[in-house]
Structure 1
């Protein structure tokens, strides 16, 4: 009898008739507070954790949907895509995979739309596409967006999120830093408004070019913003960096950006700035 007891399995599986399987994607775990959030509730809150305020990353389509007036967006240069100028091994396959996963042709979408009725040229980077790295196509799309802003006398807003220059394009990608910076200078010379909105992450050659050249620089809470990563800096200077270094709040405190805006207030904030800009232009034209 004793031997039979020891032969019994340690764990017994109990079959539950009619047990329903929970489909994947219904719930998401917040990486900061570890709260389990119902996905539909998260979307209603613009992908901001209702418990701790953590800002999840958005796709370009979600960003446009949350920001622009419904039905107002017209996309530009949708067929402008990256090439392989250096014949970098595996790069065409990487591009093909990114396009299949994201449904995008490139790491940025540009176009025109309205925010609370105010017309603007807009660009949105999508970190799912090779970490929204900047190659020749991304740089060219930004330059063309600037050109349209100058031609139509409209402000430009770019939601920035990038790992930096695209290494597979080498010096061609690095040249986009100078190219986009020169384009923003033309916008400034024309007296037009440029608002970069820095989201997580904004790093490398993008932060060192059009990312930090705005008239009014906004950022989302907690966004990582900087040129080189904090670990590399610590290894170089042999010192421990301050708490929150390279986060949006730290940069605002030290005068690098103008305002940290929670996502639920971003559309309202942009609309207010655009309205003030329109008043300024009308006064200048009248004067």
Structure 2
């Protein structure tokens, strides 16, 4: 028995052999190609630290970063019919729903949450693009109405984060009916004198843009978000002309008066905290674990 061959050499090889690295530790930025470590990306709220490209983020991740202490309560949404039209293309509609629910862990494309932003009770509604492209179906309409009714019951503002490719074709006319349903729900908020703020994220297109996504008292967008009814490729093919650079992106729409703000994701919480308190005509936002004293003495010079 050769102990050098049987023991020493394998030991040396094991020390210097390449260790396998899990594939999910690094993510490539689709905009600039930078390789980003997963923890660094999570801490940056899925925003590239090199080029500031805003990647997709789930509603739950967004709510955790938005609400005080990351705490929120999910508002129940009435279930929608699974297959009202018996629709089938390459797959049956129930099979597509089953795959989307397994992939995202959610029952539908929209989630409603209740919590506090800088001590102000707020209802937030978030659209999940990973769930069949965030498409607007009956569950989305039910979620918006549930959020509006809860906001009215608590007399608090409602913030909606849109991310969708438009209406859901598998629900046909029933999907298009969510446009007037959501419009009536927004009107209910207005009649109650409550703010409705919309944050448009990439992408927000189709019937979603033509209804609840453009009805906010204040329209905010994330940098670089695609916001449109028909996409730029469809428009170019129709009019047979080259569109301006950045056409239908958030910054272009801000310059042309369709948006009020373009806000970086890391600044969204502070922006909403100030804006919602202003719209609710209440005191400025309070940060920290304890509320500010009612009769605080004036600060001395140099303090």
Does TM, normalized by the shorter one, top 0.5? yes
Q: Which residue is 2:293 aligned to? A: none
Q: Distance in 2 between matches of 1:134 and 1:16?
A: 54
Corresponding pairs, count: 269
46 and 273 in structure 1: CA distance in 2 versus 1, 3 angstrom threshold = same
Q: Distance in 1 between matches of 2:147 and 2:177?
A: 18
Q: Which residue is 1:75 aligned to? A: 74
**Shift of residue 278, structure 1, vs aligned partner:** 3.0
Q: Which residue is 2:279 aligned to? A: 277
Q: Which residue is 2:180 aligned to? A: 178
Matched position secondary structure for 1:65: helix
Q: Is the 2:127–2:161 Cα contact (8 Å) retained in structure 1?
A: yes
Q: Which residue is 2:22 aligned to? A: 23
Runs of 4+ residues over 6 Å off in structure 1: none
Q: Is the 2:64–2:72 Cα contact (8 Å) retained in structure 1?
A: no
Q: Is residue 113 of structure 2 the alignment partner of residue 114 of structure 1?
A: no
Q: Is the 2:64–2:70 Cα contact (8 Å) retained in structure 1?
A: no
Q: Is the 1:80–1:141 Cα contact (8 Å) retained in structure 2?
A: no
Q: Distance in 2 between matches of 1:80 and 1:73?
A: 21
Q: Is residue 67 of structure 2 the alignment partner of residue 65 of structure 1?
A: no
Corresponding residue to 1:105 among 104, 107, 113: 107
Q: Distance in 2 between matches of 1:203 and 1:155?
A: 24
Q: Which runs of 5+ in 2 are unaligned?
A: 1-12, 284-303
Q: Which runs of 5+ in 1 are unaligned?
A: 1-13, 282-287
Question: Could you state the TM-score of these two structures normalised by the residue count of structure 1?
Answer: 0.90
Matched position secondary structure for 2:96: helix
Q: Is the 2:236–2:242 Cα contact (8 Å) retained in structure 1?
A: yes
Matched position secondary structure for 1:158: strand
| TM alignment of 1:77-92, pairs within 5 A | 77-78=76-77, 80-89=79-88, 90-92=92-94
Q: Which residue is 2:197 aligned to? A: 195
Pairwise CA RMSD: 1.9
Q: Is the 2:72–2:113 Cα contact (8 Å) retained in structure 1?
A: yes
Question: Could you state the TM-score of these two structures normalised by the residue count of structure 2?
Answer: 0.85
